[in-house]
Amino acid sequence: MDWIGDPAIGDWLRPLLDDDLGVVPHGFPAYARILHPAQVRSLPDRAVPSFDEWDRMSDAEQVDLIGRFVDGPATWAETAAAFGTTLHSLAQWQRIVRTPPEGDWHVRIAPDGREFTSPEEGVIDPDLFAGIARHLAAHTTTPEAGVAAIWDGWGGLVGFFGEAASSAYFQFGADPANERMLQQSIHDAFNNPFRKPTWQPGILSDEISKSPRLELPGREYVTFAAGASAFADPGWGASAPWGDGGDAQHPNLLWPEDRSWVMVSEIDFDSTVVAGSADLIATIIADPALEAFAIAEDADLTWDGDEVNR
């Protein structure tokens, strides 16, 4: 996974994207939308059955009840069923959990008492991402060669010129007079030496951080040479140069050298889109480990795109 210093590696994508916030490239035979899992748990005050009631329950009912009390992943289908809404290819989270105007869609309580937490945006579980990568690797002539692009805005990824964390913060609570002096220094915009912009290193090297990036509509990316097969094992993060102690953000963009498909995991979307062949899309949709739908090339994946659950 070597760094690609030439941002022109992604120039071929630019004409395929819309001008404002180009997310999904046009011109591929088929498209799949893969929904990111949500989280569900039961609230502490949920009614607990008595021993007699438990004994009268079937095995399936017992398993279902246990699942309702344990924190864990939740599919969008399970969520829609709990809220009495409809899951479809353009469903939007805030609508399937019946969020009222100006309401908080991140955490919603279903009529059955369970608490549903919204999916992560731009982030997929390592096991699920590995499953997607295996499908991608099987549908390209270059499974070991390609480009992985990481959004440069992930916290701590690249270095930048900014204000350093003042060592004064670690001295508070000592001598009161000295503390007042330090506080005054910190808040003095003209005399405070700590406020001068200095280079703050990131996870990636200074050379990478200071070099040009791949610029696409609304986003900039750092690019690395990596084929889909490099991500087929959930433990791939341990060898990723942009990882921090083995914990690495999966690529936001991924395409093979033969450009037979493109995977897009936009940072503001709670789903990942794959553009590719009809066979690839059919395989992804048929995978029981993935909650995926076929979508049109020009599908509206914004919050207003869900016209069913209004």
> How many independent structural domains does the chain possess?
3
- Number of Cβ within a 10 Å radius of residue 129: 23
In a domain? residue 206: no
Note whether 141 and 252 are same-domain residues.
yes
Cβ atoms of 288 and 276 within 8 Å: the answer is no
Cβ atoms of 222 and 216 within 8 Å: the answer is no
Dihedral sign for Cα 120, 264, 231, 149, please.
negative
Task: Please report which confidence band the pLDDT of residue 255 belongs to, taking 50, 70 and 90 as the band edges.
Answer: very high
Note whether 270 and 292 are same-domain residues.
yes
Q: How far apart are CA 181 and CA 221, in angstroms?
A: 42
CA distances to 23, 57, 106, 145 from 122, rounded to whole Å, are: 12, 40, 15, 23
Note whether 141 and 261 are same-domain residues.
yes
In a domain? residue 94: yes
Domain ranges, residue 51: 38-117
Taking CA 67 as the corner, what is the angle to CA 269 and CA 116, rounded to the nearest 5 degrees? Answer: 30
List, for residues 28-83, the tens digit of each pLDDT value: 999 999 999 999 988 655 555 666 776 788 877 766 666 565 578 999 999 999 99
In a domain? residue 53: yes
List, for residues 152-170, the tens digit of each pLDDT value: 888 788 777 676 543 333 3
Q: How far apart are CA 267 and CA 155, in angstroms?
A: 13
Note whether 266 and 187 are same-domain residues.
no
Q: How far apart are CA 164 and CA 46, in angstroms?
A: 47
